[in-house]
Structure 1
């Protein structure tokens, strides 16, 4: 079943989940735009998927406004928008650097709002579009010494819930995907003797496509994915 959309923007693109999602969408014939603070490492992925690259710090209103204005001028308003950025700082609450905590909130949550606002302004007149936010275990569980990440991810989840309730009746699908576990990558291999203990990014991408494909009569606003051996 086709995804039902012709173009997509992935914000916070990189070599992991974003790359798997870019390949999956490209395989469906979807025209791609990839945005990241630095696009230097995305040249190979862009060539492979035919994606257009845009520099953007999602935590800065000026950058996000410019990103969508640049899209309007050439690429066109994306029908799918995936928000992946997050920033993590760890430590005891009494010792956390307030500037680092602020950065975590600005990237993980405020950036999600900025990108979603620009996307929604373009989707609402058409009554058509899909916005997917990438969550984490920290979206629902605040771990010790990880308060800033939990604060940002809890806020992003709240944004997604509020948007879904507002926008679903207007034809814009909003979904939040909780990735409850570590993601396998070249830098993060599975421990010896613990096969399938990490999520395969291609498998996560397949879940995103499944959500994006959902017909209006059965939209999800939140989906969880985790390895079958992960406790929860």
Structure 2
């Protein structure tokens, strides 16, 4: 039976790779993002073994998120897999960050993931469980200094993932947090860092394999909570 996956926050790079990998496994994949044209093109270009659905969603807006999940249920049925993948950041420190910038990072990384998780886990509790994956960053486990909004939001999301895992793991909901420790390879990143050795970048297709492996663990008794993805380079520009 095909599984329904929601990827909340899809763009070029890892979000696209996740969509393609999940569709290759036969999933019905709903793509949440504000960039309508991009996700519509991607939904039409996913592997034929799966099915794509573009759902224009503002992940800072509670009603938009709720409407997005209603759209998914109408098209595919209840949600089996959720990837909280959206991210927003202002790369500034305490005295240079406005309240508005701080709240925007929280609205996406924190509140948006919270609402998405409520919607998805509600479905999972009514069926046979499922998988919720949070995309984290180095800043979720170790402050780097000078990026207070992003760090606070990512710490909050990691704590939320832990809490959901403890509360609903016994109910069949596998929750995992992925720490991304490095720069994900993309055309935009290579343009921004032209002097960087391409081998230091993280391959999004290989990363998507790790996410799918987490999904495959949803029916086993011993489930990983946290996975740390890195290329091992000490010269990476961490997220």
| TM-score normalised by the chain length of structure 2 | 0.90
1:26-67: CA deviation from partner (whole Å, max 9, x where unpaired): 111111111112221123211111411111112211111111
Structure 2 residue 233 is matched with structure 1 residue 229 = yes
* Structure 2 unaligned regions, length at least 5: none
Q: Distance in 2 between matches of 1:44 and 1:67?
A: 18
Instruction: Name the SS for the 1:187 alignment partner.
Output: helix
RMSD: 1.7
Which secondary structure does the structure 2 equivalent of 1:160 belong to?
A: helix
Answer yes or no: is the 8 Å Cα contact 1:59–1:114 preserved in 2.
no
**Shift in Å, 1:118:** 0.6
What per-residue deviation string (whole Å, max 9, x for no partner) do you get for residues 204-223 of structure 1?
A: 10100111111422211111
- Equivalent residue pairs, number: 229
**SS in structure 2 of the partner of residue 179 of structure 1:** strand
CA contact (8 A) 2:2 2:26 kept: no
CA–CA separation in structure 1 for the residues paired with 2:231 and 2:204: 11
2 CA distance for matches of 1:223 and 1:5?
A: 26
Matches within 5 A, 1:194-205: 194-205=197-208
- Cα distance in 1 for residues equivalent to 2:158 and 2:93: 24
Q: In the TM superposition, what are the counterparts of 1:51-200 in structure 2 within 5 Å?
A: 51-189=52-190, 192=195, 194-200=197-203
Unaligned runs of 5+ in 1: none
Secondary structure at the aligned position of 1:51 is classed as: strand
Matched, 1:209 2:212: yes
Separation of aligned partners in 1, 2:93 and 2:125 = 43
Secondary structure in 2 matching 1:130: strand
Q: CA deviation at 1:162?
A: 0.4
Superposed structure 1 runs of 4+ greater than 4 Å apart: 190-193
Secondary structure of the corresponding residue to residue 211 of structure 1: helix
Distance 1:204 1:230 in 2: 19
Partner residue, 1:47: 44
